[in-house]
Amino acid sequence: MYDYLIVGAGLFGSVFAYEAKRRGKTCLVIDKRNHIGGNVYNEEIAGINVHKYGAHIFHTNNKKIWDYVNSFVEFNRYTNAPIANYNGELYNLPFNMNTFNKLWGIITPEQAKQKIEEQRKAAGITDPKNLEEQAISLVGTDIYEKLIKGYTEKQWGRSAKDLPAFIIKRLPVRFTYDNNYFNDKYQGIPIGGYNVMIEKMLEGVEVRTDVDFFEERESFEKLANKIVYTGMIDQYFDYQHGILDYRSLQFETKVLDIDNYQGNAVVNYTDKETPYTRIIEHKHFEFGTQDKTVITEEYPTEWQQGDEPYYPINDDKNNETYKKYKALADNESNVIFGGRLATYKYYDMHQVIGSALTTVEKELGDLG
């Protein structure tokens, strides 16, 4: 009999397993995929670590979490500085002085502020009724038309006029010549890839991959005193309150016989004609010098049951459904629900690690 059966070998499950092991507990970790790591898993192709489930860049402001991940693996100095490609015109992201200089030829922050203010005023929007109006009221028409509209419409598969304003609460605008996408103090990619970190976490823990909890639910439930469940919460409760919706992605990965395709890890395609939203060139996350390169085009897609669930859709309807499942989860004895799928919440990696650590401490105490 194990102390814990952990369903899911993603970050939540792996951190929980590592910490439980340190506290002398026995765990069995299962995952329905044929590998560990969940969505942070890297697949090696042509000697390059490919982010199989989308680009993953670690960033945090929390020193404790940064020290924690660095205790498993060293991180490189990768800094995310995406480029936007709008019909062949290139702009720096996030919106900063480099972007404004390229858009309008202006030089000083004062000129940039004036330009944005002029455009916001000219649009005359006081009460934004949809995403388009909201974005224009925040950053003006030029930035919206060239850098937001096409990308957002592809991302959601709908016109920005039909999307609710609340999706965009703020748009980060920076009046410095700083292309670093994140404001966080710490950032990087694990040297050797995320698998190194996950393998270290799961060292000495029994792990079975290619095993779906629901295929042998009853026998698994008998194997351990408690379950840590990181799969989809609606599936756990047999969809009795309906299905929770997600937005999905399709990835087209290609090996190219050249050493450098786009000179940057992340290029966003912000025009509406290009069918994908981004191209990721994986080697640049690790300053790779291989002869070949691997690129991935990202296509946002409608999610249907059976597809990979990527982004929860936290609108009123789905949030109401989730609340019902949460109430059931709160009454479920001996099961801990954690991670992005079981809490129907988008988490960055540092957040899911923080949440797993808090859960373990609540469950098994702080080791200091």
| Binding residues for ligand FDA (CB under 6 A) | 7-13, 30-33, 38-40, 54-58, 212-214, 230-231, 249, 310-311, 339-341, 347-350, 352
Q: How far is CA 220 from CA 30, 77, 140, 281, in A?
A: 10, 42, 56, 40
The residue assigned the tokens 């698998």 is 195
Q: Which of 3, 178, 199, 247 is catalytic?
A: 247
The residue assigned the tokens 């629901």 is 214
Nearest to ligand FDA of 53, 144 (CB atom): 53
Name, in order, each residue with C-beta under 8 angstroms of 145's C-beta and a sequence gap of 6 or more.
Answer: none
Q: Which of 298, 322, 340, 344 is catalytic?
A: 298
Nearest to 119, CA basis, from 102, 106, 135, 130: 135
Collapsing DSSP to helix, strand or coil, 108 comes out as coil
Nearest to ligand FDA of 4, 100 (CB atom): 4
Nearest to 117, CA basis, from 143, 102, 139: 139
| Residue 340 annotated in active site | no
| Residue 346 annotated in active site | yes
State in angstroms the smallest separation of the CB of 119 from ligand FDA: 31
Q: Are 42 and 49 in contact (CB under 8 A)?
A: yes
Q: Are 17 and 29 in contact (CB under 8 A)?
A: yes
Nearest to ligand FDA of 132, 286 (CB atom): 286
Nearest to ligand FDA of 141, 180 (CB atom): 180
Q: Which of 278, 325, 340, 347 is catalytic?
A: 278
H-state helical runs in 206-334: 217-221, 233-236, 316-330
| Residue 348 annotated in active site | yes
- Our measurement of the distance from residue 101's CA atom to the centroid of its chain's CA atoms, rounded to an integer in Å, reads 30
State in angstroms the smallest separation of the CB of 289 from ligand FDA: 23
Alpha carbon distance 93, 175 (integer Å): 12
State in angstroms the smallest separation of the CB of 14 from ligand FDA: 7
| Residue 33 annotated in active site | no
Nearest to 83, CA basis, from 220, 222, 261: 261
Q: Are 209 and 8 in contact (CB under 8 A)?
A: no
Q: What is the DSSP letter of 245?
A: P
Peptide bond into 164 cis (omega under 30): no
- Residue 116, Ramachandran bin (φ over 0: left; ψ between -120 and 50: alpha; else beta): alpha
State in angstroms the smallest separation of the CB of 328 from ligand FDA: 17
Q: What is the pairing mode between strands 27-31 and 2-7?
A: parallel
State in angstroms the smallest separation of the CB of 192 from ligand FDA: 18
Nearest to ligand FDA of 149, 350 (CB atom): 350
Nearest to ligand FDA of 91, 220 (CB atom): 220
Angle at which helices 131-139 and 109-123 cross, to 10°? 140
Q: Which of 153, 174, 322, 340 is catalytic?
A: 174
State in angstroms the smallest separation of the CB of 120 from ligand FDA: 30
User: Amino acid letter at 216?
Assistant: E
Nearest to ligand FDA of 146, 154 (CB atom): 154
| Residue 120 annotated in active site | no
State in angstroms the smallest separation of the CB of 162 from ligand FDA: 23
- Catalytic residue ranges: 170, 174, 247, 278, 298, 346, 348
